[in-house]
Amino acid sequence: MKHGIVLIGLLLLTGCQSVPSISPTSSGQNFWYDAGYKDAANGLIVKDNETLSEWFGNPDVDRHAYLNGYQAGQTAWCHSDNVEAWGRAGKPFPASCDSAGDADGLKKVWQHAADSLPVAVGSAH
């Protein structure tokens, strides 16, 4: 009887223990897909696994998911209206659009917008 009470007590204590959860911010296919998508949508270059591991603190990079997300972000973002807005804002041509299907056309749109920026008067002495 005495051993039964101890056993029940141990089972109750074990049952109340919380299970550590894996952080959704640094693991899983969706995380790496989203990271790739965001990099492309922010005009960034593709990061290598070492950089991804260092930035996100996770050595288990899902390269395939990251590249799929990057491609989806590139497809969604690399359009003439977006690169034109970047050019008008004085931003450099987005690196993520360098390998887009119509990269040459996008660069022309961006360059035209960048060239239309007013030159600051008195900036050259």
Task: State the DSSP H helix or E strand holding residue 95, giving kind and residue range, or none if neither.
Answer: none
More confident residue, 28 or 81: 81
**Taking the CA of residue 59 as centre, how many other CA atoms within 13 Å lie in the half-sphere pointing to its CB?**
0
Q: To the nearest whole number, what is the mean pLDDT of the chain? A: 82
Residue 4 has pLDDT above 60, yes or no: no
What is the arithmetic mean of pLDDT over 53-57? Answer: 92
The answer to whether residue 40 scores a pLDDT higher than 90 is yes
Is residue 81's pLDDT more than 70?
yes
Q: What is the pLDDT of residues 86-118, one digit of tens each?
A: 999 999 999 999 999 999 999 999 999 999 877
Q: Write out the E strands in the chain.
A: none
Residue indicated by tokens 């239309």 = 116
CB proximity list for 44: less than 8 A, separation 6 or greater: 94, 95, 96
Residues sharing a CB contact under 8 Å with residue 74, sequence separation 6 or more, in sequence order: 40, 96, 97, 99, 100
**Neighbour count for residue 29 (Cβ, 10 Å):** 13
Q: Is the pLDDT of residue 80 over 90?
A: yes
Local structure of residue 101 (DSSP, 8 states) = T
Reported pTM: 0.70
Mean pLDDT for 29-38 is 94
Q: What number of residues does the chain have?
A: 125
What pLDDT does residue 5 have?
56
